[in-house]
A and B are shown apart, each in its own frame.
Chain A
Amino acid sequence: MDHQSATAPLLDVRDLRTWFHTFSGTVKAVDGVSFTLAPGEVMGLVGESGGGKSVVGFSLLGLIDPPGRIEGGEILLDGEDIARASEERLRRIRGREIAMIFQDPMTSLNPVKTVGAQMDEMLRLHTDLDEGARKARCVAMLESVGISRAAERLRAYPHQFSGGMRQRVVIAIALLASPRLIVADEPTTALDVTIQSQILKLMRKRIAETGAAMILVTHDLAVVSEMVDKIVVLYCGRVVETGPAREVIANPSHPYTRGLVDSIPNPKHRKPRLAQIPGAVPDIRNLPSGCSFRPRCPRAQARCAEVSPALAPTRGTLSAACHFPILEEVAAAMATTGGERA
């Protein structure tokens, strides 16, 4: 960690608040999220559905539409606050500085445009290359994500590709303009399991080669464990725990993270059911007082209902937002078996 904090951060998100003003009340989808990302660093953004992961991702690209709004905080990209950047400036950032990969490859490509046209668009927007050079670059990029007969495939339409192939195309598009940060929002959730690991391996390899930083959004801790340097855990729009990936997974200090880790399926044990965190994510417009996790937390005490916990160092390299964090280390073997506490 030390060598990273010495480097100037590529991205420094400070107290980001993105709210949606809906008819049924204000949805504080992201409410005070902070994290930093060094150049080339890979970060996992995890949490259950509705935690605000996608909203963080879209906020970084300035793609929050009404009734949503970035209410406060800063998104510093190389020190420039892009949370307040003009649309024109944002358009130069999107694709060129920060690229995004979406969850569902079946819907992220335009059905009436050829794959080639959709790739070419990225280069037309962000480079001065002439047509021949752009085409060569597209072919090379498609090949690098494992698509054969690339020159021919440029003329094909998305519906002529399988889901896995389409996600490769989407990854190729994201990488085309050599962005320094890639936000991948559940890039493999919609794919079947065998293809998931292929795509993740591909992404890891390609991104390591280009030296880009990445935020990998997922609700699946198992997916991130092998891929990321550090993890940020979101719950109800707030960061509840953050730290180096290995430490967060082996010995989380926040009860919520503990619950997530315990529900990772473990192939070595033939458990009939996984340990699930009891209860459901509360309605974000109507959060419980104090700590949002309180109704589901096995460690909750009176104080948890009164004071909302702030993110603070807990143990070693971990920080968590909890009044009563897990300070004892669980033996590594036990931590990964899953289900002990269920």
Chain B
Amino acid sequence: MLAYAIKRLVQMAIVLWAVSVIVFLMMSFTGDPVFMVIPIDSTDAEIEQARRILGLDRSMPEQYWLFLQNLVQGDFGRSYVFRQPAMDLILERLPATLEIVIVAMLIAAFVAIPLGVYAGANPGKPLSRLIMSGSLVGISLPGFWVGMMLIFLFAVEWRLLPSSGRGDTVEVLGIETSLLTWDGWTHVILPSVTLSLGTLAIILRITRAGMMEVMRQDYIKFARAKGASRKDVLYGHGLRNALIPVVTIFGLQIGDLIAFATITETIFAWPGMGKLLVDSIYRADRPVIVVYLMLVALIFVVINLVVDLVYTAIDPRITVK
């Protein structure tokens, strides 16, 4: 177990290092940020000085070495725009993003899995066909369109929910959350639903496929031959086996959701890190982009680890080694 933990940590470190190289190279090819930080009427001397301060006058390997050293020390630089540590900016926005991502994941899981189980266990029934057609719609509709339609219907036409922004928050353990206030929830619900649709449809389809496959297995017939109820057969015997592939996709989807959150946050003016990223890209605010990318990479590797651990919990045939 200890060997496994060490092996995984080393793997994670290698992945993060590779990401740092890619991020650095990408940044180096995306224009000179110096013009973003200096006043328009700066003299050449002032520009040169700014370059020196930012370390832009050195060679590429030197710059990377500095960049890496700073990363390892947790120093990601200051935002050119806000003049604050980039990490702080991102961390400030992270809870807002995680909020809609988590709520979207929960919506996806609690809607997709039961529907997928039903459709997989009753293929050919009219309701199953309806569910499957619905999931196709969910996959094909672009998120920004759904978001705008939801705003139009719920906020503009029916005036049931607010159209944008985050709403009231309370601080719990130093983290601002809107999930503990009524006003917060009214703001969370539309962006989360928008964000969840694609994932919901994918998880639904995978659960259904897994369920159909599992229901053909002998152990299902054996469980029925014992006299188990349909519910026990479906959920007690079938679901856990069908969930094995779902877990992987679920993990990958969390990453996707964080990435897609940028679009949703922009539509709903949700003050998350995705919106910050879009703003930072417009302003070529390099340090913020770097922190965002490194953080998302870290989240991905951690999710991967969690997926593997969940695997071993669900499937006794898989052991960590």
Contacts and interface: CB of A to CB of B under 8 A. Distances in A.
Contacts of B225: 61, 63, 94-95, 99-100, 102
Nearest to B229: A91
A173 B226 contact: yes
A108 B219 contact: yes
B227 A102 contact: no
Contact of A122 (B218, B224, B226): B226
Q: Majority SS of interface residues in chain A?
A: mixed
B48 interface: no
B225 to A, nearest CB: 4
Contact of B315 (A92, A102, A112): A112
B25 interface: no
A121 interface: yes
A91 B237 contact: no
A109 interface: yes
A113 to B, nearest CB: 7
A22 interface: no
B224 A109 contact: no
Contact of B218 (A61, A99, A107, A125): A107
Interface residues on B, range: 20 to 34
B222 A100 contact: yes
A126 B223 contact: no
B241 interface: yes
A20 to B, nearest CB: 15
B310 interface: no
A308 to B, nearest CB: 33
A291 B232 CA distance: 45
Contacts, number: 71
Given A111-B241, A157-B316, A92 B217 contact: no
A96 interface: yes
Interface string B209-246: 00000000111011111111110100011001100000
Contact of A112 (B229, B230, B241): B241
Contacts of A110: 219, 222-223, 237, 241
Contacts of B226: 94-95, 99, 121-122, 125, 173
A102 B218 contact: yes
Nearest to B222: A108
A257 B223 CA distance: 35
B18 interface: no
Interface residues on A, range: 20 to 34
B117 to A, nearest CB: 16
A157 B218 CA distance: 16
Given A110-B237, A112-B240, A112-B315, A63 B221 contact: yes
B317 interface: yes
B228 A121 contact: yes
A64 to B, nearest CB: 11
A93 interface: yes
Given A91-B227, A93-B227, A110-B237, A159 B316 contact: yes
Contacts of A92: 227
A170 interface: yes
A104 interface: yes
A262 B284 CA distance: 87
B39 to A, nearest CB: 65
A56 to B, nearest CB: 14
A173 B226 CA distance: 8
B227 A111 contact: no
Interface string A130-152: 00000000000000000000000
Given A111-B315, A111-B316, A112-B241, A94 B227 contact: yes
22 contacts: A61-B225, A63-B225, A87-B230, A91-B229, A93-B227, A94-B226, A95-B227, A102-B221, A107-B217, A107-B219, A108-B218, A108-B221, A108-B222, A109-B222, A110-B222, A110-B237, A111-B317, A112-B315, A113-B237, A113-B240, A121-B226, A159-B316
Interface of A: 61, 63, 87, 91-96, 99-100, 102, 104, 107-114, 121-122, 125-126, 157, 159, 170, 173
Given A91-B229, A95-B226, A121-B236, 12 more contacts: A63-B221, A63-B225, A95-B227, A96-B227, A100-B225, A102-B221, A107-B219, A108-B219, A109-B222, A110-B222, A112-B316, A170-B222
Task: List 8 A-B pairs, minimum CB-CB distance, nearest first.
Answer: A94-B227, A95-B227, A107-B218, A100-B225, A157-B316, A110-B219, A95-B226, A108-B222
